[in-house]
Amino acid sequence: MTDDTKNGATPEAEIDTTENLKFTPAKDDKTIDMDGDIMDADLLDEDGEDADFAGFPGMDEGMMAQVQEMMGKLERVDELEKENADLRFKLGRLAADFDGYRTRTGQDLEIAEDKGVSRAAEQLMPVYDDLERAVTMGSEDPTKLIPGVKAVQSKVLGIFSKLGLELTGHEGEDFDPQWHEALQAVPGDEDDKIVQVFQAGFRMGDRLVRPARVVVSRKG
């Protein structure tokens, strides 16, 4: 044994140091840490841990709320970017579909116009045949030319009628600026009567195709 043992002293290695590791209450709700410093009890949570948010020293509840709000906004930005990309994709497809529709519509319109021209030409072919016969007959006998031309004129009006065209502008008819165009006014027994037709007009229902060019009377 050493002299310390003989004298009844306890060796330093056997001294219980656990008492120095315990927190001991202090006055005025103070707590002493391991280093002997005094800490406010308000800075400790229920488990005795530091009240700062884990991993964020010095951050209080208000600051954490702001951080969470910013994170929420960033997440919303990401969602909006995804929505924007989706909308741009849909818009691109819609533009492509519309371009295809416009191309098909243009082709259909061209086909319809070609068919319309063909049908009109088919209707006018007999008129050409009649004119050719009228010219042949008129060259042999001029007196037969006028009746032949009148027959052709009647046939043309019949074709126009099938197409929905109606002749407008006749001598003795009341002048109507909706369908007629007055080229000249001459004295007459009454106002606004057509006394001469320079060029016949045509209408299709309530739509004017070509106004009749006429001479009208003016009383006095």
CA distance linking residue 200 with residue 72, whole number of Å: 78
Amino acid at 213: R
The mean pLDDT of 69-89, rounded to a whole number, is: 81
CA distance linking residue 123 with residue 163, whole number of Å: 10
Task: Please answer whether residues 74 and 66 qualify as being in contact, where contact means their C-beta atoms are separated by less than 8 angstroms.
Answer: no
Amino acid at 190: E
Give the model confidence (pLDDT) of 164-199 as tens digits.
Answer: 889 999 899 999 999 999 999 999 888 999 999 999
* Strand order across the beta sheet in which 166-168 lies: 166-168, 201-204, 207-210
204 vs 74, residue with greater confidence: 204
Range in 52-66, 80-94, 126-140, 190-204 the model is least confident about: 52-66
At 57 the pLDDT is: 61
Domains of the chain listed by start with CATH number = 166-220 (2.30.22.10)
186 vs 116, residue with greater confidence: 186
Using a pLDDT cut of 90, give the percent of the chain over it. 19
Range in 27-31, 86-90, 172-176, 199-203 the model is least confident about: 27-31
161 vs 52, residue with greater confidence: 161
What Cα–Cα distance (Å) separates residue 207 from each residue in 145, 164, 166, 202, 213? Answer: 35, 11, 10, 9, 17
At 184 the pLDDT is: 92
Give the model confidence (pLDDT) of 41-50 as tens digits.
Answer: 444 444 444 4
What is the pLDDT confidence band of residue 17, given thresholds at 50, 70 and 90? very low
Q: Which residues lie across from 81 on neighbouring strands? A: none
At 16 the pLDDT is: 47
What is the pLDDT confidence band of residue 58, given thresholds at 50, 70 and 90? low
The mean pLDDT of 10-16, rounded to a whole number, is: 46
